[in-house]
Amino acid sequence: MTAEEMKADGAPLEGADITPKRDEGVLKVVKREGSGTESPMIGDKVTVHYTGWLLDGTKFDSSLDRRDKFSFDLGKGEVIKAWDIAVATMKVGEICRITCKPEYAYGSAGSPPKIPPNATLIFEIELFEFKGEDLTDDEDGGIIRRIRKKGEGYSKPNEGALVEIQFEGRYGDRVFDRRELRFEIGEGDNYDLPHGLEKAIQKMEKSEESVFYLKPNYGFGSAGKEKFQIPPDAELQYEVKLKSFEKAKESWEMNTDEKLEQSCIVKERGTQYFKEGKYKQAALQYKKIVSWLEHESGLSDEEETKAKSLRLAAHLNLAMCHLKLKEYSQALENCNKALELDSNNEKGLFRRGEAHLAVNDFELARGDFQKVIQLYPSNKAAKVQLVTCQQKIREQHEKEKKMYANMFQRLADKDLKSAATLQTSHTEDEEMKDEQNGVEDKSEVDTEA
């Protein structure tokens, strides 16, 4: 693009005003229409090619020249304001030209040495793709967010926060759930909300409106949801507005009395969840006790006794939850924590034995069950499990015995085969030697004759 082309008929200074304030700070001209109906949303990862010019036609930057597409998170302040505004209006495949005033570009500072102060800039941008923000800890694509409307402030709900939401759940083209709801984070299962949605809500700001896409393991999983006619392994979509929330007190905001009081409350709540078979929800409650009391110091003797009792119960109950969920390494971890508090605890030893047994560590499991019986001779369950362990160990020994016997037999067969091969080779050598001697004798006789 030459300076003459840019100035001809004032083309680059024309276009639709796309600024929220309608102050003509960003003018847009579509050079090539894109495809589809959707445009990028706040937080989306967008990929573009671009070229930038000053008003006099001087090119100051181009991803095309570098042959390297440029990606950024939309609406996060990673680029100049004009780009966040303009790219949000584009569709995939679209090419547009934008003219941006200094206050939407680099302002009075410019960007030395290529962009002078108070420069009006022109960009040509092509949008290649956009994708939502991955909210999962492992970045496995299980929860994708697309922000329709940015929220207020920076605060977000935490575990235990009281939230008020308005939402709509979709499976395919069908709306299966539409409600306004006020509930406590961690209690979503009681209101037929998938755990992935609760996790997503904890990433929202007040008044934010977002669309969430949940993979099956963050939705209703392999069980589906009969109430909503959701089949197993279904992908879900939720549109959510976070109307308001009250954060739960963090550990550092609570004094010792509050922590002890709240620990008793959530312990009872966790027990109720456990009785209902809601092991994940129960575990969340017990984890609160650990987080509140694990590093509490400066307690009186009475407070120390109560805190220790609550922590012990929390770890024992967490171990039981993880056993039910077949999360054996976490069960072992909590059993060990419980046994640090009480080395001869009957439940701690028994549940650790169960966890060892579940992962085929039969010797370790036997040791735990033997100790339970030694300390608590009336524990019938430990006696049953000890018999199971001993049977498993015998089976394992028999299996190893057969395996080694087979291995030794194979080695013996191999040695016999090698010996036979060697003997055959030796016999052939002897026969060949005899034949050679015969030939030599006959030759000598012939010569003598």
Q: Is 140 a known active-site residue?
A: no
106 is catalytic: yes
70 is catalytic: no
Q: Which of 18, 44, 50, 84 is catalytic?
A: 50
Q: Which of 42, 80, 115, 230 is catalytic?
A: 80
**H, E, C per residue of the chain:** CCHHHHHHHHHHHCCEECCCCCCCCEEEEEEECCCCCCCCCECCEEEEEEEEEECCCCEEEEHHHHCCCEEEECCCCCCCHHHHHHHCCCCCCCEEEEEECHHHCCCCCCECCCECCCCCEEEEEEEEEEECEECCCCCCCCEEEEEEECCECCCCCCCCCEEEEEEEEEECCEEEEEEEEEEECCCHHHHCCCHHHHHHHCCCCECCEEEEEECHHHCCHHHCEHHHCECCCCCEEEEEEEEEEECCCCHHHCCHHHHHHHHHHHHHHHHHHHHCCCHHHHHHHHHHHHHHHCCCCCCCHHHHHHHHHHHHHHHHHHHHHHHHCCCHHHHHHHHHHHHHHCCCCHHHHHHHHHHHHHCCCHHHHHHHHHHHHHHCCCCHHHHHHHHHHHHHHHHHHHHHHHHHHHHHHHHHHHHHHHHHHHHHHHHHHHHHHHHHHHHHHHHHHHHHC
Candidates 95, 104, 123, 125; catalytic one: 123
Please say if 60 is a catalytic residue. Answer: yes
Judge whether 80 counts as a catalytic residue: yes
**Options 104, 106, 238, 350, the catalytic residue:** 106
- Check if 50 is active-site: yes
Active site residues per annotation: 50, 60-61, 80, 106, 123
